[in-house]
Structure 1
């Protein structure tokens, strides 16, 4: 049964958009019709003789469960020895849906289960059955759908419930429009709705069973032909990017410091045409190739978009992957507005919703947010037009979405299993010398196809992907694999790693040093230029992983036509250990986009260091598209199989009733520790490169168990340290201290007139500046009082215009609150807009009763973004507060603040 509601909140734009008074519209309940088909799902990968579940629903023609279905169903399988029930009679309590557990397959291979009741016949997807648990499974979901909060027909809970309990999706995301989607009469996405979306996503998130992402859709970008982009957040505590942005660069800047992915969709459609000219390798990891609107794969495909596409040449996925060289994985989804996530409805004749629901397939080791997010970020994905088609595409043991280097002709392996007969499987290839080609086609005329193919025409860097077409026209598209053509004795880029770069631009654009060794001539490393312009020399250090007798280094300048950062004079160093360096060459590059080489006299080295002394036009920047090296292997280095040491001395600091801070001693490793995984009550909650973590959003007076493990670049993990137990504090003391922390709120009100569990916003009326170490009064008006003037558009900024050098950290501001308060929270709002200069990174917060004797309440590190930072703490009496900025988010000497705010209550 699917129930349609209209919302209990209305906006002026609703009436204008729909043309009726929604407040008088009744709820409409839709009850499933008589069953016409089965929807049956099993996991895509199953260990031999391991228990698994079969989920079965009896559906009507529109995808509703037939709640009155009570027939007897029979089971069969391609594995004749499978452990299945002989039959099952549905009961009234099943309401048309039943989950069968403890089933097993006994034979290896690709297997499915058939089900029938004598009139209706159905089958599951195919599952790959092998010995042992699969390292990576394939999870199916719908990453793109809408609720009543934008222009959908369902409450969020209804859509998630259908996706989980009827469509049997593994994951789902509501992506309501967060900006002025309705134009001049439209509404901005309300923050209370965003909170409700986060709360509901958290309510339905059940690791191992059903996964949700907090997500939204930014559609204002279409105004500049930049398209619609969905934003997926790894963590549930992120604030929505509530901006009506005209440029995706602004969007990506606002997302810096968050774990997020942006996915463009229906890129060639007239109402949301995309712009692949603007690209950010940090966030733009995937592209949506198909939805209910049609396919954006290429012009003239089997699912044409409903709009004329000729004016939008260059906006298809093949345009992005091919000529524009965008390294993006592929998914599909529904973009459903009139049905729930994962809706099992057939194609329609609606002018917008023309086709069935698309699905995203993601390879992940576990069904939780971290692992699924990692699978998306690594581009281990494919998309289908709605069916759970099994697809594995590998090249020389590299999974779809990956990139690698090879000198020999690459070998392609494909395993596909359809829900109907497979009509055609195509291998598509793009290279600069040959353009787009279909290099191999298989016509299986069966439900299963397994084949191998070697590309004997591999002459330059190429990308490959797989397109599957069933006899019923349902399709699947793999993510590409990018293959770099190695020259003789060329060292593979995918083997190299960056040890050090003195500067990277990571704010306005995303140009990390890794782009200098990624095998992609169209990406490039660039030193900082937006918030700072560090001067020469600039350098990059590369680990080759083995010792080579080096014969040549090639330097390729950026290929976008700009001379910015083009190296003039250089020095070249090598090292065996990355510590002691030998200069082996110095000289000048010519001012050209052409690749330039430095010959090396077969010198053995494991590390290479290129130093740029200046730029061809005298600017302070350095940029590099690619560094390539040639050499013969001298001493093979054994693979790193040694795990890091266990993190020691894990300790917990109780910050408040809802926050615990963890710290531990750094682990050691034979190569180097990359990061740490933090576990709460046995479940991973975070990864961090630091030796500490702040766990917020907890419940008061509650015990939590914590442990930490370390991991290195090779993926080796230490054992988790011994778990510790920490208990959050109860509600803080109130007013005059006579209220015991364990008392109820009502008794606190009686004793003190306040409730410590519900502190209030402290008015800034009466606040005054006591001291500030620096304020800019010349270049801009950055007076310190602007940090507490209740205006988020004015800022305090330290000096920068007439000072040389600018005053360095630490910077501090002291504020007189005008009265004594019991404080429980401090908030810091960074400056608004696109300029992030002065955003505080490391901080300390102090309080005082007399303005002379200070007590440090909190210290820590804030995330690099423009979101308001909140610091909760056990209540502290104060008349004066002091915020010290120890460093800036981008290493500059400034500090800025839009607003400093407090919560607590006045002491009578």
Structure 2
């Protein structure tokens, strides 16, 4: 069988026309014939395509989700293979009325059936079914399926559970249509957004009104990338705890649901004793495009950057080594104007030391990067404890994969032990070649939390000659252990004692576990 990837997942509903020999549709209708004197009913509104950005649960290399909105029926998106269910999702930018979805595959592909559910959401997190699971048949020629809808949503997701010709979801075009209200022009972005603090714990925003060809109906205020209120005026005041950082912007809307771009962003500075704990730490990514490696994202240089391979989702994970109390995450792109504005959709997750699963620190949301508005820097307040912190990317309006020039984790080290060897002695103090040598090492827990039991390795001249068990130590406590090293030929030796050589105890500092000295006998 020739492999035919269904380029674009076409969710279509086949509408069967009424066909009865000798019976017209008019005569088949129930009720009396229409009154010719009655005024005509309202004409159905024409349809217009809805602008959208797309993301997907996965993408096979070379078949990115961007292919599903490029207007080319011969290019297509394909999900990971043999991994149903998969999904593709459109973000309309604001809640829009939908009349139908058109799904296409390359016109010359063989017939196939894809089983999918149409789901909708207002926030991109909580979804409900807009159309029940159905097998949609794609027929060579048009290879287009249409799904009628009468609903409103911002996020529209097609969840695919089967494909009769290939073990993946496939779609070449994912088109959404809504009624033409006669107004498709968005308002101008609000200007001159300013922030003041009229009282402790209070934030006040003011901005200049937007303009629209028909009329502005209201404004949505966003805090840290999340909408917090919709109002009709140009001022907004809210209570925020003193010292809490927050970033705001505003968008305007008109009666047709068209939404403006962002206003300028303003930041209410917070107070934090934390530092960037991610700089120089081990960092890894699910994929890399060309030479844009993960280590570029925590090298303190915004001129270098990480970029994933095409497709979503993809992730970037920094390993802090031990738990930290994290209060914010900063994601930067190069602030140079050559980097055009873009929106990335991502979630922040964390994993505590000793845990296997990640949990959410900040829910998935759109984050706007703009050299002119926010120096291409986004700061997301979080609250949690983690030793590994992950950015999970779902969409990027400016590139086919996730991008980060700097990934900073701001916080303070959580309470942890810190095992150090404070000294090493040996007996006899002046050994001979026949002496049975014993080396003693004093271990202290210099950290702020209790340490579990571990061990000490003792080496002479670079060779481990024995080890001893170190019991659990409370913070600030010390203990001395002894290793029998046997006899040694006359000479000069480097004596070293290393506590927790296998790294089984998470510590505040993993680089201070060895004590060395030199001795001649």
Assess same fold via TM > 0.5: no
Structure showing greater Rg: 2
Considering fraction of residues, name the structure with more strand: 2
Higher relative contact order (CA 8 A, sep 6+): 2
TM-score, with structure 1 as normaliser: 0.20
Structure 2 length-normalised TM: 0.32
